[in-house]
Amino acid sequence: MRDQTIDILRDLIAYPTVSSESNLQMIGHLAGQLEAAGARCFLSGDDTGSKANLFATLGPDGPGGILLSGHSDVVPVLDQDWSSDPFEMTERDGRLYGRGTCDMKGFIAAAVAFAGQIDPARLIRPLHFAFTYDEEVGCLGARHLVGELAQRNILPDIAIIGEPTEMRIIEGHKGCCEYTTHFSGLEGHGSLPDAGVNAAEYAARYVSRLMELREQLKPRAPQNSRFDPPWTTINIGRIAGGVAHNVIAGKAEVDWEMRPVQKADAEFVKQALAAYVRHTLLPDMHAVCNHAEITTETIGEVTGLDPMHDNAARDLVAELTGSNSADVVSFGTEAGLFQELGMNVVVCGPGSIEQAHKPDEFITVEQLNKCCDMLARLGIKLTA
């Protein structure tokens, strides 16, 4: 299984499934391998027809079962200094290099190799596989997939999301909400600032309000929060606007994100911003130009994974790995979407998040071996 996992991973790395590009070739390849293992597969595509999720089932029909899930897309390699071709896997000193090796094609490869080792006739519970599109740009594929599963009345009991955690059990993470706020003002000569509506200035005021809200979120941290930091955070990623020193900026935009510890914090921020725009910024803008406006585009709102006192997924993976602890992390995954559907969910997979998104991304053979061992033990539990 270990050698087969590495062979499959090499094939997967060769598919340049950057989120801006199609993943259909890789999904078709995976579907073929799972069907050869005896799985029943269906695809669910996006509106463009260039992206698809793959869902597959081995074993008996019926409710429940175990779901192994991973995302097919990877982040770009543009402007990164790689020592080798990022889409041709290379092995050096026990490390497998390539874009997506740890985030998270390593887990997908192990899961597909595992499927090839299982006799479907011996499975006493359904074994499901979900490989999604566009996780890196807002978990768009998983959001689509959970809706499809609800319509088809497919509800696994347990989901294991194989993001790189160094095989540690992660039972909770913050949400991740990404936005771009657009400001449209009135251009004019820089010598007459009061005759225009400077979109860049209003963007700056908006950012100042975001920074005020960021401080107000700190005392809202839940008691005994296990996150680092324990409160909901706000980050400004990009500010852009204007065309020249002596021109009143007619357009501006702000990219920002929020990582909620609890849903109430997200509502608090959105309501406070809406009130500030409606009662303060827009009246000031409209006093000069009625057509000035502020709009916020939602790039993605990823649901957090709430730690649960009773979690069958955590207990199962603890048994499979021998771990007696579970942690929380600040980075986001698709796990919360599956939890909202009613599954018990954990995040546990090979590789380190420290290697994700970087040049010379790698996963160690040792980590892949640990993942293969966990899945082999799962196979024993699932077969008669």
- How far is 136 from 332, CA to CA, in rounded Å? 10
The H or E element containing residue 327 is strand 327-329
Q: How far is CA 183 from CA 25, 47, 208, in A?
A: 39, 28, 15
119 catalytic residue (yes or no): no
Residue type, 133: Y
The catalytic position among 3, 7, 35, 73 is: 73
Q: Among positive and negative, which fits the CA dihedral 365, 367, 373, 374?
A: negative
- How far is 93 from 365, CA to CA, in rounded Å? 9
How many whole angstroms from its chain centre is CA 172?
A: 14
CB 13 within 8 A of CB 69: no
- How far is 47 from 27, CA to CA, in rounded Å? 16
Neighbouring C-beta atoms of residue 319, cutoff 10 Å: 13
21 catalytic residue (yes or no): no
- How far is 380 from 384, CA to CA, in rounded Å? 8
The catalytic position among 135, 163, 306, 360 is: 135
Residue written as tokens 């599956």? Answer: 338
Q: In what order do the strands lie in the sheet with 233-241?
A: 233-241, 251-259, 176-184, 293-302
* β strands within 204-323, DSSP E: 233-241, 247-248, 251-259, 293-302
Q: Among positive and negative, which fits the CA dihedral 219, 222, 224, 225?
A: negative
Active site residues: 73, 135
